[in-house]
Amino acid sequence: MAGVFCIPPRAPLTSSPKLTTLRGIRCNSGAPENNTKRDTPQVLRFVVSVATELLRIFSSTTTRSDRVSEKQRNEVSVSCVDDVLTVLKSDYENAYFVTGVFSSAIYAQDCIFEDPTIRFRGKDLYARNLKLLVPFFESPSIGLEKIEKDINSETNFVLATWKLRTYLKLPWRPLICIDGSTIYELDSDFKIVRHAESWSVSALEAIGQIFTPSFGRGRTIPL
């Protein structure tokens, strides 16, 4: 979701066209393929870029407590798929997406991040995008529905399913409701090299939620 507010790099990213099937999910080299749209409309890219700049202008600064928490998470080390799963589960329990604090140490520096709106490379850019989003959340929650590993395929990966619910602190107070899943593909050192989200809504529907007023819906966020 953080990819909605990032400016993509110009260098193209490619993926293997070879597809197999795993537990009813399309896969490439063993890791399940998400439903990300490869060809994001140019108008949507423009909206994403403008949103990124607005968030950068109005975002708040990092506090000392945030820096301490980040330092602790940057010192995490993993040596197997189970370690990665445990760390990811902890990040979800600490609502990493709505706090902006995640265990960056388990990600490769040039990890690929993608969702139905965009695709980019670099964990530092991902961290920046999370921090841009946090100040705009109102009554946010991200609930982990399920998390599991797969070590029998050619590529080790962890698959998490989740629900995101939050209002945005904009004058029209839009409500964001997205059910999704994230594939965390690992390399031989058990670093995450691909973080790919798929959503229950399309890219255009997700952007549409941002511009849809929630007046009259009440204060309770639907599950």
| 135: containing domain | 2-6+20-59+79-210
Q: Is residue 66 part of a domain?
A: no
pLDDT in tens, 160-195: 999 999 999 999 999 999 999 999 999 999 999 999
Share of residues in the chain with pLDDT > 90 (%) = 50
Closest CA to 186 of 155, 159, 220, 151: 155
Backbone angles phi, psi at 94, to 5 degrees: -95, 15
Partners of 180 in the β-ladder: 162, 199
Q: Is residue 216 part of a domain?
A: no
Domain count, the chain: 1
Q: Is residue 129 part of a domain?
A: yes
Share of residues in the chain with pLDDT > 70 (%) = 63
* CATH, residue 50: 3.10.450.50
pLDDT in tens, 140-165: 999 999 999 987 777 899 999 999 99
Confidence of residue 123 (pLDDT cuts 50, 70, 90): very high
Q: Is residue 222 part of a domain?
A: no
Helices 42-58 and 123-133: crossing angle, nearest 10°? 70
Q: Is residue 217 part of a domain?
A: no
Q: Is residue 91 part of a domain?
A: yes
Q: Is residue 221 part of a domain?
A: no
The count of other CB atoms within 10 Å of the CB of residue 191 is 17
Those residues with Cβ within 8 angstroms of residue 28's Cβ, 6 or more apart along the chain or in another chain: 15, 16, 17, 18, 19, 20
Q: Is residue 46 part of a domain?
A: yes
Q: Are 34 and 183 in contact (CB under 8 A)?
A: yes
Q: What is the pLDDT of residue 12?
A: 44
